[in-house]
Amino acid sequence: MSDEIDLAHFHSSLQARLAELDSLDSAAQSRDSIELDQSKVGRLSRMDALQQQAMLDANRARGRRERLRIEAALRRIAEGDYGYCTQCDEPIALGRLNFDPATPLCIECANNANHDD
């Protein structure tokens, strides 16, 4: 599989996405956590601030998960395992890799994993 796909293309795509995540992290860190001074804001403002903080926390968690997936894909490229399903060891379809270069699973294993929930 490795010689059928353009590993350099996927490597650069994954690196570019890591750079995007880094810039998003930098931008998010430049913003302070939302301060909840109850003497200065009304009830609705506090609720809005809590919701914004929850959304920020969820986005950070999603970014961390994506970073881990990308780093794992880069390791698979380095080890010569990229493009193969980590569960069944069958080739992952090129279209699936183009859609999500960090995917570790073929479509069949991904569907089975989703049905196990």
Per-residue pLDDT of the chain (117 residues; tens, 9 = 90+): 444 789 999 999 999 999 998 887 776 665 545 555 555 556 678 788 888 889 988 988 999 999 999 999 999 999 999 999 999 999 999 999 999 999 999 999 999 988 765
- Residue the block writes with tokens 């490795």: 2
Q: What is the dihedral of CA 108, 87, 10, 12, to 10 degrees?
A: 140
pLDDT digits over 20-31, tens only? Answer: 988 877 766 655
Give the per-residue pLDDT at 27.
65
Q: How many CB atoms lie within 10 A of CB 70?
A: 19
Beta bridge partners of 91: 84
Work out the widest C-alpha separation in the chain, in whole angstroms. 64
**pTM to 2 decimals?**
0.75
Distances (CA, A) of 68 to 42, 50, 52, 65, 115: 39, 27, 25, 5, 23
Give the per-residue pLDDT at 3.
45
Q: Record the tokens describing residue 70, joined without a space.
A: 């990308």
Beta bridge partners of 84: 91
CA atoms within 13 A on the CB side of 100: 13
